[in-house]
Structure 1
Amino acid sequence: MALLDSLSEIDLMGIQLINVAGMVELILRFSVNLIVTACIIGWLYYGKSKRRDYVFTFTLISTTIFLLIFLLGNEKLQVGMALGLFAIFGIVRYRTETIPIREMTYLFLVIGVSVINGLAESVSIVEVLFTNVLFVFMAWVMEGSSFISSEGCKLIIYEKIALITPEKRAELFADLKLRTGLEITKVDVGHINFLKDIAYLKVYYKNQTKEINTVDQITKISQFNG
């Protein structure tokens, strides 16, 4: 302890070598933030989606935002920076791929958790912990809720365009069910190409396993990113 006190008195070009109280607070708050984001990302999100690419993204974004907010906490930029980060990441896109709604929600969630943990200097530790627990609890409830329909959706390039007419809707459902093995609930007909005799269908089906299919909406090899 005496060593830390002596080190805290050392200045390098007017900058304190170490702020013991500040370092302890940083380690404590970062630990809380890391544990909470690990629960949200590793347990709730990855447990269903198995998307390692987004786990990597969410974790580093959470860490970056927390450290940015915490270390600039004395520059009177807190509220403006927090709102700016929400605005920027609210419309963020990676290359040409739009982030799916579920992934966007988790991104917004980890940003919110990181901002709260980084800004809440005047709030007690118990209140911060309780707030984080509420975040995890609500995400867990919504992921496991039986009241939310677990309906999947696929984009299908369909060649039997004679069946897309309204009067042959029953035959269309039967053909799709036979060929996909899925319990079809709804079909939306999109672009029709009469030159190639194909139509783009958006097929909704009952997802019995309640697992997230990350390639349901992919129709081209170029859209597949693993």
Structure 2
Amino acid sequence: MQHLSAPEARNLTELPDDLFIRLGLDLCSVGILIRLIYYRMYRKTDLFLTFFTFNLIIFLITFLLNQVQLSIGAAFGLFAVFSMLRYRTEGLSARDMTYLFMVIAVGLISSVSQGSWHKLALINGLILSMVQLLEGNWLFKREFSKTVFYDRADLIVPNKRMELLLDLEERTGLEIHRIEIQTIDFMKDSAQIILYYYQNDVNHESVKSLTGTPLR
């Protein structure tokens, strides 16, 4: 069990002068990351509560723990508790898990970073700039994929690949540059196909309903 000495216990009751500056920078950074980058790209709001709550809780916990001295055992125990969260988030995609990791990282950096708030703002700014650079089309085209159930198994042959692509493009309205055939059911004359297309070919939101949808 951890015991705080009298001076350390008194420190917990005193709010440091830079607490609200750090908290403001933290929330501002997460707001830009989630609202102006994540939401603008994916139009999802169901994880907003998770992102902001995780960030705030991580910030407060690490900021308070940074004011006291912890043993190595307590530090490893805290790490183990947060590591368990990974096994409870299997429903999240790799992209959402990446953003969750980033909001946690921003909270940690904002709470324990040494130096002035100018330095902290610069660090958070570098993180946001890198995310925006990778999420945009400046370095490379962003590829999206959709899974559909196709009803013409007769076209699932190598010598008819171009005809298959043209038929899929006509039905979906997407400029498909490659496909991946997952399964073929000759009894039902159908196949499950993953379509790959670039973001600038079409509005990503307009084709969300295609996922797992039979093409007739």
TM-score w.r.t. length of structure 1 = 0.75
In the alignment, does 2:21 pair up with 1:25? Answer: no
Aligned in 2, Cα 1:68/1:211: closer, same or farther, shift over 3 Å?
Answer: farther
Equivalent pairs, count: 202
Written as runs of structure 1 = structure 2, the 5 A alignment for 1:34-183 is 34-73=27-66, 74-76=68-70, 80=76, 84=80, 87-88=83-84, 91-94=86-89, 97=91, 99-120=92-113, 122-183=114-175
Please, what is the CA RMSD of the aligned residues?
Answer: 3.1
Asked whether the equivalents of residues 155 and 216 of structure 1 are also in contact (C-alpha less than 8 Å), the reply is no
Q: Which runs of 5+ in 2 are unaligned?
A: 1-8
Asked whether the equivalents of residues 58 and 107 of structure 1 are also in contact (C-alpha less than 8 Å), the reply is yes
1:48 and 1:146 map into 2 onto residues whose CA distance is 14
Asked whether the equivalents of residues 182 and 192 of structure 2 are also in contact (C-alpha less than 8 Å), the reply is yes
2:180 and 2:12 map into 1 onto residues whose CA distance is 64
What amino acid is the match of 1:103? D
Asked whether the equivalents of residues 158 and 199 of structure 1 are also in contact (C-alpha less than 8 Å), the reply is yes
The alpha-carbon deviation at position 68 of structure 1 amounts to 1.4
Aligned in 2, Cα 1:209/1:60: closer, same or farther, shift over 3 Å?
Answer: farther
Asked whether the equivalents of residues 153 and 217 of structure 1 are also in contact (C-alpha less than 8 Å), the reply is no
The alpha-carbon deviation at position 79 of structure 1 amounts to 6.2
Aligned in 2, Cα 1:65/1:81: closer, same or farther, shift over 3 Å?
Answer: farther
2:193 and 2:52 map into 1 onto residues whose CA distance is 36
Q: Which runs of 5+ in 1 are unaligned?
A: 1-13, 221-226
The alpha-carbon deviation at position 165 of structure 1 amounts to 1.1
SS at match of 1:45: helix
1:142 and 1:101 map into 2 onto residues whose CA distance is 15
TM-score w.r.t. length of structure 2 = 0.79
1:134 and 1:148 map into 2 onto residues whose CA distance is 19
SS at match of 1:200: strand
1:80 and 1:17 map into 2 onto residues whose CA distance is 21
Asked whether the equivalents of residues 86 and 108 of structure 1 are also in contact (C-alpha less than 8 Å), the reply is no
The alpha-carbon deviation at position 42 of structure 1 amounts to 1.2
Aligned in 2, Cα 1:18/1:147: closer, same or farther, shift over 3 Å?
Answer: closer
Among candidates 194, 198, 203, match of residue 202 of structure 1: 194
Corresponding residue for residue 3 of structure 1? none
Identity, % of aligned positions: 29
The alpha-carbon deviation at position 218 of structure 1 amounts to 3.8
Deviating beyond 3 angstroms after TM superposition, the runs of 4 or more aligned structure 1 residues are 14-18, 77-89, 91-94, 209-218
The alpha-carbon deviation at position 54 of structure 1 amounts to 1.9
Q: Which has the higher contact order (CA 8 A, sep 6+)?
A: 2
